[in-house]
Amino acid sequence: MRHRRWAWTAVTAFAVLAAACSSGTSGPAAAGTPFPSPSAINAARAPLLPTDRFALPTFDYSTFTTLLSQLKGTPVVVNIWASWCGPCRIEGPHLAAAAHRYGEQVQFLGVDILDQRGPAQSFIREFGWPYPSVSDPTGDIRDHLGFVGVPVTVFFDRQGHRVAVSAGAISSEQLATDVQKLLA
């Protein structure tokens, strides 16, 4: 009986220790675990920035401009898109590659307009976008920025000034050129 109690205590202690060691919710990153994304890092000073790239919180223009002001000090690339947009599908891989390449230096942010959450989440997943998007179901953000249609990519410098705009599907070359201007 004493042997069984000791064995049960040992198994329970091992299970608790294993669970504590594998939680990954605090402490330094485990070997092979990526560092927090730029979005997660920026979230500390930009509380409106979604840390879950699939969350798609609903924003209006006022909330969007508040988020941009929270991101001052970081160059920002905003892509206005929709899952039903053909040219958005063309530029999707370019945005993913650029975000992976420049993600430590530039905050990428998507604005999904006039769309449904399920198809938008599938679009994000399909193209492997590592950055968050917000939902703009009425097109309010796009309209207030003075654009018609999608896609549109807008580049904001560290001071929050709009420095470049690309209407239509942006090429990987144009994207790299405009991001380099932000970093200069």
Q: What is the CATH number of the domain that holds 69?
A: 3.40.30.10
Residue 8 is assigned to a structural domain of this protein: no
**pTM of the model as a whole:** 0.77
Residue 60 is assigned to a structural domain of this protein: yes
Residue 3 is assigned to a structural domain of this protein: no
Structural domain tally of the chain? 1
Residue 31 is assigned to a structural domain of this protein: no
pLDDT in tens, 134-183: 999 999 999 999 999 999 999 999 999 999 999 999 999 999 999 999 99
Distance CA(55)–CA(75), nearest Å, equals 22
pLDDT-based confidence at 113, cuts 50/70/90? very high
Domain with 79 in it? 38-183
pLDDT in tens, 9-61: 333 333 333 333 333 333 333 333 333 445 554 556 789 999 999 999 999 99
Residue 71 is assigned to a structural domain of this protein: yes
CA distances from 125 to 44, 54, 116 (A): 25, 8, 15
pLDDT of residue 3 exceeding 50: no
Residue 5 is assigned to a structural domain of this protein: no
Both tokens of 45, joined, read: 């000073």
Residue 72 is assigned to a structural domain of this protein: yes
Residue 26 is assigned to a structural domain of this protein: no
